[in-house]
Structure 1
Amino acid sequence: MEWDRRTFLKTLLTWGISQAGLEWFSRQPKIKRYYQTLATPTPRKLALLVGIDDYGSHYKLKGCVTDVERQRELLIYRFGFAPKDILTLTEQQGTRERIERAFTEHLIQQAKAGDVVLFHFSGYGNYVKENIHDVFPLSSSTRKRGLVPKDGILLTKDTPTTNDFLEETLLLLGQSLATDKLTMVLDTSHQYLGRELEGNLQGRSFPYEAQQPSPEEMTFQTQLKETLKAKNVQAKPSQIVGTLLRAAQHQQVATEIMGNGFSTGLFTYLLTQYLWQATPTSKTIVLLENSSEHMFSIRGQQQQPQLQANQKQPLFTYYLLPVTPQGAEGVIIQVEEKTTATIKLTGLPLSAMQHYELNSCFKVVGSQSLHPIIVQLYFRDGLTGKVRLLEIPQDQTDISPLQKGQLLQETLRVIPKTLGLTVALDKNLERIERVDATSAFASMKIVSSVITAGESGADCVLGRQQKTLILDERDSSKLETEGGYGLFLQGGIPVPNTFGQSGEAIKSAVERLQPALKKLLAIKWWRLTINEGSSGLGLGVTLKNLDQDPSLMLRRQTLRKLSSLKTSLPLTQADFLPSTSFSPNSLQLQYLPQLPQGSRFQCQLENRGDCHIYYLILGVDASGQTTAYLPPQQKNQTQQTAHLSPGESRLVPFSSRGLDWTLASSQGWGQMMIVGSKFPFIKTLETLAEFPGFKLDQGQIFTLEEPLKITQSLLGDLNTSRAFSTELAATLTDSYALDSSTWSTLSIVYQVI
């Protein structure tokens, strides 16, 4: 279904917006301008996508071509780009000259006023020195941002140098377009911090700066400026036309992450995944807010996306609405037979995608059948899978019910019961240290494999903490020393309270770290259940700070159920605005809420669906402690009774009962996961009842010293394989099967300052 102004307004009504809400919409200048322009279809959508993994020698990345593939699939199947209007340059094609020529011929020469244009680059970036001493004798050299093309690395006698495609050139090319609806996505970085890996993630900053721009590049810039001057346009090398999205901020490193059979840019994956699922809207600020939250639990403050835009900042990402209002977790890219097809898994959360199991099921969107068409995953290679029909609907026996381009929505998520941790060993450890650590981990059932950092995906990294000693404050001399052994998250963030004393034997350290590893495994299980985009429950949550202004701080809600509800709680402005304030031209946007140490907070839960929702809250705080909140139950009941009725809104925990949820006293980040289900958490309640001091009729916040016990009970409660046919259930004996229509897990990440 193509969006037009009538469809836009009609869809707002189906989301539950009242007439008063529409009046509020109509008074917002940006929104009013946007849906007025929807009456005139966009003449054309053009894209140039560049991804380079193999730079020759030993300079190689792994996820850049995957980034290009994800963007291309998103543009075609979600935003309606014609395949012929998307030009991709990968590997050998991504030379500096070809990138600049492609931008000129494919974008500048074709785009007209009002057209939508996207440029994406994934690859190495670095800085390029510019010596301006000859022009300004008292000045020193400056540094420009460079994008390293395929032919950009020049092997000299001493150290490599680069022949860069300058970011200044890219901005001048943007100014040469006839349209200002331009989005540039740069999944690269320029600041090299002296190491190839950030934890277990590959960095995209090239380790060497270029000593000067290439003469050919400067000649091309001069030509662009002269062309702009002939059009009476003043060339401004620093001016941004449209919107520029960066994977990392200044002096930060963009990274790529390895999953189960695939590698991808961390930012590109989060960006495209959210745009596949995003309904009702895909506003740029909300997109970055969502991406930042998921990135923060992997990289902390070491990688934060950046937005730069001119005054005409778009209401929606890419200046577009999706061609269909439904979100999706996959798309059919090829039909082999009447009952089998090849799919791309596109909209699943990164945490789930890394351990997505066979036998998971999807519903075909947009089918003409009167009955739901369900396909089951029977083969998977990275992000590509093969599915087969579980049953051919009676009204589809004479035609193929599967078609290329059909979207797929998750209905059943299958997770292995035997899942363990993958621990990466820091490359800086000595060989004997790695041997001893591997031997010590071999006796741990919760550790499934031990690898060397950078080989494949990992959940955490065992390494030494680096300490900096100030030798002399007068000359700022420092000495880097190695501390004790401890754990880092996969993105290089230290796990709180895991580092021992210097001199500790590594086998002793591994033994000491067992409780922390058990917590990490429990948290890994929790995150595997996150399904904000695919859940069929109408659950919403708002995080509020009781010690400051208790207004909206951060909001999360299930996206799919919200978009399909026709009777629900009335939507408010908060449903369509970012949950944190920002300045459109800010280079340091703060997307996550910041809470002072020791703050008290509450969650407001809302049931926007048509069935009871049972709930509990799990959390990990800035000190690494895991907690759980269970609402009060009725006395003398053997199963959970506390629930949200349809249309009900409730604050938890209840402050009037004297129960407060207080933040840790240490700085860092925390995460809360709000789990909802159509069915009571019977096994979870029984496990919690074993804890000392458990009281059934009181809401309680538990410190989970052994969170794995609660986790296994929780997954047992969410497991719905018993509800399926005997044949299907037989294939799920070693797995948990979670039905998207019966459960939801919403995640909220926050900073403690």
Structure 2
Amino acid sequence: MKWDRRTFLQTLLTWGVAQESLTRLNPTQQFQKYYQTLAEPTHRKLALLVGINDYGQGFNLKGCVTDVERQKDLLIHRFGFNPQDILTVTDKEATRQGIETAFVEHLIKQAKAGDVVIFHFSGYGNYINIPPDIVPTLTKGQLPGIIAKDGITLNNGNPSTDNILEDTLRLLGRSLSTDKVTMVLDTSYHSSGHTVQGNLRVRSFPYPTDNIEREEFTFQAELKQKLPKSKAGTNAGIILSAAGSQQLATEIKGNGFSAGLFTYALTQHLWSTVPASRLNITLNKTTEQILPIMGGKQEPQQENSPSQPLFTYYLLPPVSQGAEAFISSVEDSARATMTLTGFPANIVRYYGTNSIFYPLNSSSSSLPLQLRSRNGLTAKVRQLSSEQTPSEPLAVGQLLQESLRCLPQSIGLTVALDPQLQRIERVDATSAFSAIDIVSDVLTEGEQPIDCILGLRSSFSSPSSQTQETGTYSLFLPGGVQLPNTLGKSGEAIKSAIERLRPTLEKLLAMKLWGLTLNEGSSQVPWRVTLEGLDPKPYAIEQRQTIRAKIKTVQQNTDENTNETSALNVPGLPKVPRGTRLRYRLENLGEQPLYYLVLGINSSGKAIAYVPPYEEEIEASENDQRLIEPGMKDFIPATSTGLTWTTSSTKGWEHIVAIAAIAPFQKTLETLKGISEFKTDKDQILTLENPLEVAKALLQDLETASNQTNTLLDPNPDSYILDVKAWSTLSFIYQVI
């Protein structure tokens, strides 16, 4: 008997929805029940992961199958899914019928009340123009939908798509017998008309379509009819989208891999986070990784019912601590292959050989694993000592935590050239960049990761925003967003433009080096930093804390004037009005004194640093810098000094890093002393004339601090060797409005 798509889905749906009415989860169940999900053996965890690279017709993507692999690894090794309960549907299998059938058969047919269900889609999306006779109440005449493998056709050279509407996905989600549903959609619908944004591939299909099968709405009607009354008006669980309605979802390029920018950042955070992270915190952390690449033009969104808890994936991971990698295969008793999972992509890009990892929750006799070679997200590791026998053998799925981070000392910028530049412009630009030693690569094409783009403003501007200066040279983020204060004058020669932009290039490299020290997830330095506004009483804007450090001193907030919850639980990255007075509250939660430094870029694009007072006559001494004693806190700037930290008068994003170490920042302070405004007798906020020199000095200081705790590796003149027990770098990103 041959069934058509509609009959087949009808039969499966009838079975699945009938089960829902018998076993529906009590909606009054307390949030604590969600923490106990993994302790309830009768509750399953089901996932359907869809990724499509191969669309054919010249519209292929690169990172969708990688997204599926990263989600699968996360669900199995971090959230305890049974591999048999995860169905992956990729490329040729991911047809319209293949996706809808898999959803019904694998999820709706099997899921029972209380089960956890994950649906992930990575691929193209677009808008469908809907004729009025089909949906008369539709005001805009368009509906969003995802595109299956067989969804793109060419009619006389004109692309057309056959979509699965997002509304259909919602109805499928509501048809499940459980409320614990998360849909992750790494796609977008709004299109700029191009398949590339800056240097990144775009997951919005560049053409809307007028083609919609009436069968799609018939299928929706059948889904609605079969929904029990208890499901009327409910949401399809939690929907996480890669971008806003008028934004673009993009793909990031790494060395040897491509991935959805949203999926990569999301899974990276979930690998390293503590259990049961609130959803808004997860999305904020994800957005922080996307911002330096897309500049606020891609902001992940959440859609969820107010009755649903905001715990990511509704799950408590079996292991409370996060990890940076896991063993994916074992060669012998001393060698294995690991997959890097818990690092931001910019750190993976430079993560060096000889870096050290320890098995999670390992015993004192466990041997460290040393990274010997790496290809993209996969690395070969071996036990550091072959003379000892480890207490536990290497095993597939074993989680690994970072111990020593090795970074090359010779790190430069990779600059891409705008494809719209003429050939002579590209030749001249390549020649000019060759004279700038901090630029390591200049790309005219290819799939390599980049740091910025040199191009014409007209290449990345919408027609409505173009001015008489649209033909001038400027620097852009990888996602095509113009960097502040980089636009030149009309008629400028490209070699002159590059020389003019040299200070900006140095600042970009300094920011890149600061970013390579971020380690909130892996640091074992116990401290907490809170960004506060003063209006006039202190109120919390954002808070960061090392999550793996052993806190031996319980530090209570003793500042009764600080409202801790006023801004910390607001979805989205913090927004701070121009002219707001700020301060940072630093708390030492351990038993060892901590030295600190605060660096960053303000919204006007200036590099800045907070420098505490010190005694000039006590050179190279631990007493020449302010420190935080164990169990104590410090404020910067201190109210008693009269110094104010005020947000810039320019709208934009500010990115600040707070750095703590177990040894003083001697090299960094020596470098800062070269600034003409530097004072020795008071704290100050300096505009950095030499941010790159400061960044290099900082790395030297962090390595010096690491020498106090690193007992595994000898110094290497080609690498910085940084020990997670010796330093911590926390990041703060907020928008000045």
Normalized against structure 1, the TM-score is what? 0.88
Answering whether residue 91 of structure 2 is matched by residue 97 of structure 1, we say no
The one of 493, 504, 525 aligned to 2:481:
493
1:337 maps to what in 2?
A: 332
CA distance in 2, matches of 1:35, 1:337: 37
The one of 542, 550, 561 aligned to 1:554:
542
Deviation at 1:350, TM superposition (A): 2.7
Map 1:69-148 → 2, pairs under 5 A: 69-133=69-133, 136=136, 142-148=141-147
2:555 maps to what in 1?
A: 569
C-alpha RMSD of matched pairs (Å): 2.8
2:726 maps to what in 1?
A: 742
CA distance in 1, matches of 2:368, 2:65: 31
CA distance in 2, matches of 1:469, 1:683: 42
1:383 maps to what in 2?
A: 377
The one of 714, 721, 732 aligned to 1:729:
714
Deviation at 1:156, TM superposition (A): 1.1
Encode CA deviations 1:454-492: one digit per residue, 9 max, x unaligned: 632110011112399999xxxx99888723101011222
Counterpart amino acid of residue 450 in structure 1: V
Map 1:696-707 → 2, pairs under 5 A: 696-707=680-691
Encode CA deviations 1:240-259: one digit per residue, 9 max, x unaligned: 22100001111111111112
Conserved 8 A contact 2:597-2:610: yes
Q: What SS is found at the alignment partner of 2:288?
A: helix
Answering whether residue 267 of structure 2 is matched by residue 272 of structure 1, we say yes
Distance change (3 Å), C-alpha of 1:124 and 1:688: same
1:354 maps to what in 2?
A: 349
Encode CA deviations 1:25-65: one digit per residue, 9 max, x unaligned: xxx99645545777644510000000111211321211111
Conserved 8 A contact 2:168-2:220: yes
Conserved 8 A contact 2:603-2:653: yes
Answering whether residue 296 of structure 2 is matched by residue 301 of structure 1, we say yes
Conserved 8 A contact 1:338-1:400: no
Distance change (3 Å), C-alpha of 1:726 and 1:33: closer
Conserved 8 A contact 1:468-1:479: no
Conserved 8 A contact 1:201-1:454: no
CA distance in 2, matches of 1:457, 1:689: 35
Conserved 8 A contact 2:50-2:88: yes
Q: What SS is found at the alignment partner of 1:603?
A: strand
Larger deviation, residues 451-460 vs 33-42? 33-42
Answering whether residue 611 of structure 2 is matched by residue 612 of structure 1, we say no
Conserved 8 A contact 1:286-1:578: no
Conserved 8 A contact 1:120-1:184: yes
Counterpart amino acid of residue 554 in structure 2: S
Conserved 8 A contact 2:51-2:64: yes
1:150 maps to what in 2?
A: 149
Map 1:625-664 → 2, pairs under 5 A: 625-639=606-620, 640-664=624-648
Q: What SS is found at the alignment partner of 1:164?
A: strand
Larger deviation, residues 273-282 vs 507-516? 273-282
Counterpart amino acid of residue 589 in structure 2: R
Larger deviation, residues 334-343 vs 124-133? 124-133
Conserved 8 A contact 2:657-2:730: yes
Conserved 8 A contact 1:199-1:453: no
Instruction: Give the length in aligned residue pairs.
Output: 704
CA distance in 1, matches of 2:720, 2:458: 40
CA distance in 2, matches of 1:539, 1:548: 26
CA distance in 1, matches of 2:334, 2:250: 39
Conserved 8 A contact 2:677-2:686: no
CA distance in 2, matches of 1:400, 1:114: 35
Q: What SS is found at the alignment partner of 2:540?
A: coil
Larger deviation, residues 427-436 vs 29-38? 29-38
The one of 446, 468, 491 aligned to 2:438:
446
Encode CA deviations 1:213-253: one digit per residue, 9 max, x unaligned: 2345344334433433xx556776xx522100001111111
Q: What SS is found at the alignment partner of 2:265?
A: helix
Encode CA deviations 1:255-309: one digit per residue, 9 max, x unaligned: 1111222211111111111111111542111111211222223222211111101
2:9 maps to what in 1?
A: none
Conserved 8 A contact 2:354-2:370: yes
Map 1:510-589 → 2, pairs under 5 A: 510-547=498-535, 549-561=537-549, 564-570=550-556, 579-582=567-570, 589=571
1:690 maps to what in 2?
A: 674
Deviation at 1:130, TM superposition (A): 1.3
Answering whether residue 587 of structure 2 is matched by residue 592 of structure 1, we say no
Encode CA deviations 1:298-332: one digit per residue, 9 max, x unaligned: 22221111110113222410000111101100011
Encode CA deviations 1:71-90: one digit per residue, 9 max, x unaligned: 00000001000000000011
Deviation at 1:344, TM superposition (A): 0.7
Counterpart amino acid of residue 307 in structure 2: K
Conserved 8 A contact 1:467-1:481: no
2:192 maps to what in 1?
A: 193
Conserved 8 A contact 1:379-1:386: yes
Q: What SS is found at the alignment partner of 2:67?
A: helix
Distance change (3 Å), C-alpha of 1:191 and 1:469: closer
Counterpart amino acid of residue 598 in structure 1: G
1:9 maps to what in 2?
A: none
Q: What SS is found at the alignment partner of 2:150?
A: coil
Q: What SS is found at the alignment partner of 1:163?
A: strand
2:20 maps to what in 1?
A: none
Q: What SS is found at the alignment partner of 2:407?
A: strand
Conserved 8 A contact 2:593-2:628: yes
CA distance in 2, matches of 1:617, 1:168: 47
Deviation at 1:97, TM superposition (A): 0.5
2:451 maps to what in 1?
A: 459
CA distance in 1, matches of 2:78, 2:682: 47
Conserved 8 A contact 2:36-2:316: no
1:505 maps to what in 2?
A: 493
Larger deviation, residues 53-62 vs 326-335? 53-62
Encode CA deviations 1:144-168: one digit per residue, 9 max, x unaligned: 1110111111111141001112111
1:44 maps to what in 2?
A: 44
The one of 234, 243, 251 aligned to 2:238:
243
Answering whether residue 396 of structure 2 is matched by residue 404 of structure 1, we say yes
Counterpart amino acid of residue 729 in structure 1: D
Question: Can you give the 5+ residue segments of structure 2 that lack an aligned partner in the other structure?
Answer: 1-27
Larger deviation, residues 682-691 vs 74-83? 682-691
Encode CA deviations 1:357-406: one digit per residue, 9 max, x unaligned: 11111111133x4324211111111111111100258463xx76311111
Q: What SS is found at the alignment partner of 1:151?
A: strand
The one of 661, 668, 681 aligned to 1:677:
661
Counterpart amino acid of residue 162 in structure 2: N
Distance change (3 Å), C-alpha of 1:192 and 1:687: same
Distance change (3 Å), C-alpha of 1:623 and 1:533: same
Q: What SS is found at the alignment partner of 2:287?
A: helix
Q: What SS is found at the alignment partner of 1:405?
A: coil
Deviation at 1:641, TM superposition (A): 3.0
Q: What SS is found at the alignment partner of 1:556?
A: strand
Answering whether residue 421 of structure 2 is matched by residue 429 of structure 1, we say yes
CA distance in 2, matches of 1:576, 1:627: 26
The one of 416, 419, 425 aligned to 2:411:
419
Counterpart amino acid of residue 519 in structure 1: K
Deviation at 1:529, TM superposition (A): 0.6
CA distance in 2, matches of 1:169, 1:401: 48
Q: What SS is found at the alignment partner of 1:327?
A: coil
Conserved 8 A contact 1:276-1:327: yes
Counterpart amino acid of residue 253 in structure 1: L
Counterpart amino acid of residue 291 in structure 1: T
Counterpart amino acid of residue 209 in structure 1: P
